Amino acid sequence: APVTLAWAPNPQTPQIDVAIARGFFRDAGLDVKTVSFPTGREAFEALAGGQVDMAFMAELPATIGALRAQPFAVVADLSRYRGSRLIANAKTLDMKTTADAAGKKVGLTIGANLDYFTSRLFAAAKINVTIVNASPPDLLPALLRGDIDIAVPFPTFYPAAAKALGENYREVLPGGYAVHNIVAASSPFIKMKPAELEKFIAALVKADAIVRAGPAAAQALVAENLKGAFTLESVTKMWGEYDFHTELADDLTDLLVDQGAWLIEKGAVKGAAPTAASMRPYIAEAALRKADASAVRLK
Amino acid sequence: MSGRVEIQDLSISFHGRGGATQALAPTNLTLEPGTFTALIGPSGCGKSTILNAVAGFIAPTAGKILIDGKRIGGPNPGVGVIFQQYALFPWLTALSNVKFALKRLSLPKGEMESRAMDCLAEVGLADAGGKYPGQLSGGMKQRVAIARTLAGEPGVLLMDEPFGALDAQTRLSMHELLLRIWDRRKATILFVTHDVDEALALADIVHVMASAPGRVIATHVLDAPRPRAASKFDTTFPGLRESILGLLRPAVSTQ
Amino acid sequence: MSGRVEIQDLSISFHGRGGATQALAPTNLTLEPGTFTALIGPSGCGKSTILNAVAGFIAPTAGKILIDGKRIGGPNPGVGVIFQQYALFPWLTALSNVKFALKRLSLPKGEMESRAMDCLAEVGLADAGGKYPGQLSGGMKQRVAIARTLAGEPGVLLMDEPFGALDAQTRLSMHELLLRIWDRRKATILFVTHDVDEALALADIVHVMASAPGRVIATHVLDAPRPRAASKFDTTFPGLRESILGLLRPAVSTQ
Amino acid sequence: MPGPAAVFAGSRDSWVARALEPLTPLLSFAMVLAVWSLVCLSGIVSDSVFPPPWQAWEAAVELYQTGVLASDFAASISRAAIGFAIGATLGIATGLLTGRTALFSLLLNPFLRVMRPIPAIALVPVAIVWFGIGEGSKYFLISYTVFLTVWFNTHHGMEYVPDIYIRASRCLGAPRWREFCTVTIPAAAPHILGGIRLGVALALLSLVAAELSGATSGIGYRLQEARQYIRTDRMFALLIELGLLGAGLDWIVNQIGRRIVHWEQA
Amino acid sequence: MPGPAAVFAGSRDSWVARALEPLTPLLSFAMVLAVWSLVCLSGIVSDSVFPPPWQAWEAAVELYQTGVLASDFAASISRAAIGFAIGATLGIATGLLTGRTALFSLLLNPFLRVMRPIPAIALVPVAIVWFGIGEGSKYFLISYTVFLTVWFNTHHGMEYVPDIYIRASRCLGAPRWREFCTVTIPAAAPHILGGIRLGVALALLSLVAAELSGATSGIGYRLQEARQYIRTDRMFALLIELGLLGAGLDWIVNQIGRRIVHWEQA
Ligand SMILES: Nc1ncnc2c1ncn2[C@@H]1O[C@H](COP(=O)(O)OP(=O)(O)OP(=O)(O)O)[C@@H](O)[C@H]1O
Ligand SMILES: Nc1ncnc2c1ncn2[C@@H]1O[C@H](COP(=O)(O)OP(=O)(O)OP(=O)(O)O)[C@@H](O)[C@H]1O
Ligand SMILES: [Mg+2]
Ligand SMILES: [Mg+2]
């Protein structure tokens, strides 16, 4: 039976592009079938609903899933991305720093990881903004039309935004938050098919080395898979903002705990604030430890 | 001979929002087998109520109805009903409508077909068996309805203003047809109308009813031979037409 | 005196899917002012077609219709129409229905009200002005319709089986009412019916029509005084009733 | 299949049934609640998939106490009302036009007929490009659906105004504009009202579609948020709110309509 | 307002109008195309907001040539068909039950009445929790909407079966099951058919809602994709496809229905 993976071509997970292109999965005797979803939330819904065995997503759905006791666990953290940015249209706002956002309309997808990013960012900077909710594909049209002053879109939309805004493109990279691009597996899959999981992770680890050894080949592959949504140039340009390494480390646990606290603070989810201990069961490191023990750095 | 209807102390009330209203005060009537009885009266006097009770559509509030000595407890195929609105099933052809009545007899297929055809032929519609009710005129529809009811060979035939929706000419030809069939089958007929001429042309006995509460106020036995021409009523039944109209008139002023 | 209707070589065809069918063969009729003319004939013989043409609802295919010498070119308030289905506006009270006909006269408000009330009183419905048509019986509805049409004081009154939907008793009282009003107003009346007795009871002149194509096949002048009792037709109009029924009979066999 | 022991045909409702009539809704809801509770208590399904009634109730209370319920309700109702008003007005106006004028009918009907099956949800992307993510696109989406339904019903109502009313009006000497206002429109009113009832139902439907993007309040938004956080208890509370709101609005429109179109009672 | 020169009332359609009747849709579409082209050529709106007809046409051709059009069409139709079949079957069955049995009617009606205003789109989150993001939730959403509509119409059809048919059937000695099969159901058939027609329209509507999530083919998914890349030309092509599909399905169902319920012609 094939192993189903919720994944669509994107610049965050070159390991998967490489593993597929080089036939690492096939060589390991795995028949990996990818299914695409527009957002990580939907990929997670498919995972929790038993439609797929594994799903690629950012870490926030995992945080929510852990708080809501969904049957899954994180099995690998493929990359960390510190390039999350605010994008403005110079026609309405000639943004230079984060402080320029004060009093402005900031468009984002409420309940996504960038909502966490923005709210922590503005809280720390003690800046008041008006949040406007929009689905991911609507942020760019809204920014172009001037419905919002600042957009906080997913990285997939950056090149399109730069192209559409042209010389009016303004961006600020406040840093401070790293998106963790993770792969989660469903509990039944972890329990019933440990061998497949191990083979899958091993293939990713193998691809990891190739990505880090020769970025150019991986970049070409990623750009090709994105079929024009990203040029090779934009893939290359953003490459440096990523930390590509398949691992499972305490920074992920810490992030899950802080995000959980944030969700509970704002009343989105009820319950006691999570702790490292309560989040720990949702990280299943056994397979990765077998493939590369040094990649697991958990307390 | 069967088809004796005994209505004993029958009274019927309806329960509405403002309490119960008596549609029919205690009434006694006997219909002898093979007779043709007409009920005439102003609108709302309870003609349909009596007929529906005999048909088994509504339950008596008090009293009882016996058919050949058996108390009725609901609609039964021994009592045929012909409605003013024909009540043909529009999704069945004329022939299938008639066959509907024959189904309960579990006849072999061929016999059922031929008996249904015979019934249609009896009402002069041998050719119209394949037509749907929607393709027939009012008079033809009522003939199919008669054929359908007669197919079940009921001993009692109840008719509630069966020709009220037909025009005058068609109504006359339906009278002829009805009398011809009745002559052959001799079922007991209870015929509701509010047309005096119709009652005088058809019935052996005419019961005149009044309303509030519904009750029978006069009974006339008509023994003149049939067919009876409306233009000769004055000589056939001297004074009777005017006398019945006189009984009905008061109710008219509020119309 | 006005209200003279001249129908000259009027013929009417309808264009359907299968080409044109002649509903009315070329026909000439003159209605003298203040006379009461009845049209009688089997269903589909073109009675309504003539009436609708005079009302201006359908255009003549050939020939013309003159009212007081003026050719008609559409509905006009000088010609009142009373329909079998009453055609009252159910969203207006009886009084407002009557006032609808008075609107075109641009009367002061008080006078309009009182004239409408007078018209209702004329048909015996002075008390029912505030009721909606849905709250009235068939006979009362038709009376309101008559009051509404008379309010416009038309010189010609067209009635298409106006009492066809009423029961026999109500129909008789409507006949009395109609004759009483006509006696006072003396409009020219064209009255369509397929009830021989109704024609004989009301009209000065009866035109008997036949179908395929629609045409007038006989004309009878009735000069007996009114009221005329149906039970005495045999002596009043010896043989006439049977003779007209004889003319109508052939069409019945296909009903 | 029909009840077993009805000796007398025609008296379809038994006395018991009639006496219980006013209690019917309560009975029904009690049964649904009971079944729902039993399913949850039996433990066949997990709480996070199918929360028990008390959790949904708690979620509703929480929404109420934080004031979110009221503010969502207000936001949604005002969007629905404005969109509905625009759509219904345009729909009636267009219907009056196409229903009585052959030219407009010829030109517009086929086009509108092809528009009708396009659901509001499919128009969300276009609406956002055209009207932005603000209230504009929401009004557009709601009024679009309402417009088509109200137009369709008005058009048919106008087309089927019985000829006899028109004839009566003309031979009573009414000029065209009076005929139009006091005869044609009232005669079509029952159909128009039918369109409006459907329109109210559809306004609610498009509302949810419209609130998926660019809203930060409203029942549709809150549902979307509940999905984000896998708050099934909240989803249930919100769905029930939506159902009650819809049933309530329908009832109100029906009551008002009955009073306006008083002459047309089933 | 009515045409100006109709001397004879009642002949509402002019001869010209009648002669042009078969050409009507073409005329209408030509006009819409002309207005659309003019608006675009005038340059009031940018192409990316409101693409001209030829761009939409090119997008459609592109979809057709890459085979996407056909595969989307097949995917959507098969989802709609399966969901519709489930919903309609359950709806008719439940309607037959509640329409003739007081007990079921008492218990289920109020509940279903509150369900009716809950749009399928609002149920997407619940459907996903229950059935996951695959085909299951799509079938659920489509059949849910179809079910409620078909149920409602069947129920009403059964309730309003004229008493006179039942009386006629009983005094002709038909046993209850024969009455049910050959009298009650045919008598309710026109209403059931009406429900089915509405159901087809709603199936399409829920289809789009259902395909917003977790689909990789289908008209709804393609629309979503076009939105992702702000391909307005494609959106227009897809919307028109949806409209034509809906109008076509309605026509087909109507034709079949007329043949089945042949005795009930307007
Ligand atoms: N189902 C019912 N519920 C309440 N009242 C009823 C019902 N059926 C009849 N009635 C009342 O009972 C009385 C008699 O009605 P019925 O139908 O027997 O009159 P009818 O003589 O047949 O009149 P018509 O000539 O108009 O048919 C009327 O006052 C009527 O309003
Ligand atoms: N609008 C129409 N289109 C086509 N044919 C018509 C139309 N109106 C009437 N006819 C035909 O013209 C003929 C005469 O019809 P008309 O309505 O005048 O008959 P009638 O004498 O009034 O009959 P009835 O007694 O049934 O009212 C009939 O054959 C009818 O089918
Ligand atoms: Mg009666
Ligand atoms: Mg006629």
CB neighbour class for B113 (10 Å; exposed up to 12, middle 13-18, buried from 19): middle
Look at B205 and C170; give whichever has higher pLDDT. Answer: B205
Q: Do D246 and E116 touch (CB under 8 A)?
A: yes
| pLDDT tens across the length of chain A (299 residues) | 899 999 988 889 999 999 999 999 999 999 999 888 878 888 898 888 788 899 999 999 999 999 988 899 999 999 999 999 999 999 999 999 999 999 999 999 888 899 999 999 999 999 999 998 888 888 888 898 888 999 999 888 888 888 888 899 999 999 889 999 999 999 999 999 999 999 999 999 999 999 988 889 899 999 888 876 778 888 898 898 899 999 999 999 999 999 999 999 988 888 889 999 999 999 999 999 999 999 999 98
Domain match, D38 and D79 both: no
Domain match, E141 and E29 both: no
Residue D180 CA to residue D169 CA, distance in Å, equals 10
Interface test with A, best of D141, D217, D229, D233 (most A CBs within 10 A): D229
Give the mean pLDDT of E125-135.
Answer: 81
A146 touches chain E (CB under 8 A): no
Assess if residue E135 is contained within a domain.
Answer: yes
Residue E77 CA to residue E223 CA, distance in Å, equals 15
E-assigned strand segments in chain A: 3-6, 32-35, 54-57, 72-81, 86-89, 105-108, 130-133, 150-151, 169-172, 179-186, 242-249, 296-297
* Strand-pair partners of B6: B30, B66
Ligand 1 pocket check for B193: Cβ under 6 Å: no
Assess if residue E205 is contained within a domain.
Answer: yes
Q: Do C87 and D263 touch (CB under 8 A)?
A: no
Assess if residue E168 is contained within a domain.
Answer: yes
* Strand-pair partners of B8: B64
Residue-wise pLDDT for E35-45, tens only, equals 899 988 888 87
Lowest mean pLDDT among A87-96, B211-220, E38-47, E163-172: E38-47
Angle at CA A191, nearest 5°, toward A188 and A193?
90
Q: Say how many Å lie between the CA of residue C24 and the centre of ligand 1.
A: 43
Contacts of B103 by beta carbon, 8 Å cutoff, 6+ apart: B112, E174, E178
Domain match, D24 and D95 both: no
Ligand 2 pocket check for C220: Cβ under 6 Å: no
The residue whose CA has the least distance to atom 1 of ligand 1 is B14
Domain match, D83 and D124 both: yes
Look at residue D15 in the predicted model and tell me its pLDDT: 58
Residue C17 has pLDDT above 80, yes or no: no
Ligand 2 pocket check for C91: Cβ under 6 Å: no
| Pairing status of strand A105-108 against strand A150-151 | parallel
Assess if residue D223 is contained within a domain.
Answer: yes
Residue-wise pLDDT for C91-118, tens only, equals 999 999 999 999 988 899 999 999 999 9
3-state secondary structure of E118: coil
Look at residue D195 in the predicted model and tell me its pLDDT: 93
Nearest CA of chain B to the CA of C138: how many Å? 8
3-state secondary structure of A92: coil
Its pTM stands at 0.84
Please identify among residues 176-195 of chain D the ones whose CB lies closer than 8 Å to any CB of chain E.
176-177, 179-180, 184
Domain match, E23 and E132 both: no
Look at residue C253 in the predicted model and tell me its pLDDT: 42
Look at residue E178 in the predicted model and tell me its pLDDT: 93
Domain match, E135 and E194 both: yes
Interface partners of chain B (CB pairs < 8 Å, 3 or more) are C, D, E
E-assigned strand segments in A83-128: 86-89, 105-108
Chain B residues with beta carbon closer than 8 angstroms to that of D9: 56-57, 74-75
Please identify among residues 224-253 of chain D the ones whose CB lies closer than 8 Å to any CB of chain E.
224, 226-227, 230, 232, 235-236, 238-240, 242-247, 249-250
Look at residue B1 in the predicted model and tell me its pLDDT: 58
Q: What is the mean pLDDT of chain B?
A: 89
Look at residue D70 in the predicted model and tell me its pLDDT: 94
H/E segment holding residue B205: strand B205-210
Assess if residue D156 is contained within a domain.
Answer: yes
Residue B135 CA to residue E82 CA, distance in Å, equals 38
Sign for the CA dihedral angle at D101, D107, D108, D112 comes to positive
Q: What residues pack around ion ligand 3 (CB closer than 5 A)?
A: B 48
E228 touches chain A (CB under 8 A): yes
Residue D151 CA to residue D186 CA, distance in Å, equals 16
Q: Which domain holds residue E168?
A: 53-265
Nearest CA of chain B to the CA of C195: how many Å? 5
Chain C residues with beta carbon closer than 8 angstroms to that of D172: 77, 100-101, 104, 148-149, 152
ipTM of the shown complex: 0.82
Look at residue E21 in the predicted model and tell me its pLDDT: 66
Residue A113 CA to residue E187 CA, distance in Å, equals 58
Lowest mean pLDDT among A61-70, B175-184, E131-140, E209-218: E209-218
Please state the atom number of ligand 1 nearest to the C-alpha of residue B42.
Answer: 25
* Overall residue count recorded for chain C in this entry: 255
Q: Do B103 and E167 touch (CB under 8 A)?
A: no
Chain E residues with beta carbon closer than 8 angstroms to that of C59: 7-8, 11
Q: Do E9 and C73 touch (CB under 8 A)?
A: no
Residue-wise pLDDT for E9-27, tens only, equals 334 445 555 666 677 778 8
Assess if residue E48 is contained within a domain.
Answer: no
D27 touches chain E (CB under 8 A): yes
Chain A residues with beta carbon closer than 8 angstroms to that of D228: 41, 64, 110-112, 268
Domain match, D59 and D117 both: yes
Domain match, D66 and D21 both: no
Domain match, E73 and E32 both: no
Domain match, E16 and E90 both: no
Residue-wise pLDDT for E197-248, tens only, equals 989 988 988 898 888 777 778 998 888 888 777 788 998 999 999 999 999 9
Chain E residues with beta carbon closer than 8 angstroms to that of B89: 165, 168, 182-183, 186-187
Please state the atom number of ligand 2 nearest to the C-alpha of residue C49.
Answer: 18
Residue-wise pLDDT for E57-92, tens only, equals 999 999 999 988 999 999 999 999 999 999 999 999
3-state secondary structure of E155: helix
Look at residue B80 in the predicted model and tell me its pLDDT: 95
Check which CATH number belongs to the domain holding D226 and give it.
Answer: 1.10.3720.10
Residue E6 has pLDDT above 60, yes or no: no
Look at residue B249 in the predicted model and tell me its pLDDT: 65
Assess if residue D47 is contained within a domain.
Answer: no
Domain match, E154 and E237 both: yes
Domain match, D18 and D100 both: no
Look at residue C66 in the predicted model and tell me its pLDDT: 95
Domain count across chain E: 2
Q: What residues pack around ion ligand 4 (CB closer than 5 A)?
A: C 48
**AA letter at E260:** I
Residue E62: how many other CB atoms lie within 10 Å: 14
Ligand 2 pocket check for C155: Cβ under 6 Å: no
Q: Where are the alpha helices (H) located in E101-134, listed in sequence order?
A: 102-115, 120-131
Residue stretches of chain D with pLDDT short of 70: 1-21, 265-266
3-state secondary structure of B227: coil
Look at residue C67 in the predicted model and tell me its pLDDT: 95
Angle at CA D266, nearest 5°, toward B42 and D91?
145
Interface partners of chain A (CB pairs < 8 Å, 3 or more) are D, E
Assess if residue D96 is contained within a domain.
Answer: yes
- The sheet with strand A242-249 has its strands ordered as A32-35, A3-6, A54-57, A179-186, A72-81, A242-249, A296-297
Give the mean pLDDT of B68-74.
Answer: 91
Nearest to D165 among C74, C89, C103 (CB): C89
Q: Say how many Å lie between the CA of residue C22 and the centre of ligand 2.
A: 10
